[in-house]
Amino acid sequence: MGDEFLDLSGVHPPSGKGPLLDGTRFSVLEGISPIHLRILNEASNVMYVSKDVELLHEGDAPHDLYFVDSGKIIIAKQSTGKLKVLRSLGQGDVYGEFGVLRRKSRYASVFSAEPSRIIRVDITAVHQVLEVDATFRKRITDMMNQRMINTFFSSHVAFQDLSAAAAEKLAQILPLRYIERGERIFSQGEAPTGMFLIMSGEVEVRFLNKSKAEVLLEIRRDNDIVGEVVQKNGTELAYSAIASSDIDLLVLDKKAMDALQIQDAKTFAKLEQYINKRSQMTVKRLRENLG
């Protein structure tokens, strides 16, 4: 047996430099400056990947940005003990955007569904271009946001039965909000403007009781909600919410709720049930900490 089969990893880097990235094969790069394209190309390497390789695992630390040059890649996430396929990617698609933009662990796993050729671009070079190229950043961010909403729909108990057509429509119109660590989402006593579903990150729920002591009631994480309890006939929020990490929120204001009801009344009803149940739990904790 020759030594050409000593590498059993399933991922075989070629001996030479891979093909350059360009806007013709990858629409996300269309129209970006030659200098920025050169930065990405000089930091790229080609991987020839065999079938059924887990390229990235859910929970992994951020790696690089990956461009699918040929083959088929699937994105999947653990849900209720099963691996659920979220989407398939082919030539011209990109993955790894969440780790690159958020610098947090991955929210889904990546597998090769067939032999594929992937162009891997070093994360440092990607950040360098993102900092100065607003068009490139917007394209990557828009792609991440739409994928994040679709992933959220597939994993949240209230949205799991959402039809594919409704999910696609809502992913385009529902507003997202990115909050940096330490930022206050809303304060107790403010007028409510809507609720927020946590798509990624952690939120501290704080309550200023009658003794003027601010109590940490809970730390809420992925798929939970904040802003669901109001007081004084619905005119004031009952607690404060502060981002304890960088977080992504799905905004459920009146416009968003109306859109959801129009697109899928059944899902809208399930979401209302979820909100009511969560509200009852929160009210119980608030009463326990009145002071």
Answer yes or no: is pLDDT of 2 > 80.
Answer: no
pLDDT digits (tens, 9 = 90+) for 162-180: 887 888 888 888 889 999 9
Q: What CATH number has the domain spanning 170-288?
A: 2.60.120.10
Tell me whether the CATH fold assigned to 3-155 matches the one assigned to 170-288. yes
Which residues in 67-98 are b (16+ Cβ under 10 Å) and which e?
A: bbbebbbbbbbeeeeeeeebeebeeebbbbbb
Sequence ranges of the domains in the chain: 3-155, 170-288
pLDDT band at 4 (very low <50, low <70, confident <90, very high): low
Say which CATH architecture domain 3-155 belongs to: Sandwich (2.60)
Average pLDDT over residues 54-71: 90
What are phi and psi for residue 31, nearest 5 degrees? 85, 0
Average pLDDT for the chain: 89
pLDDT digits (tens, 9 = 90+) for 258-283: 999 998 999 999 999 999 999 999 99
Answer yes or no: is pLDDT of 11 > 80.
Answer: no
Higher-confidence position of 155 and 225: 225
Alpha carbon distance 196, 222 (integer Å) = 11
| 127 CB-side CA count, 13 A | 12
Q: Is the dihedral of CA 180, 182, 183, 186 positive or negative?
A: positive
**Cβ of 206: how many Cβ atoms within 10 Å?**
17
Answer yes or no: is pLDDT of 7 > 60.
Answer: no
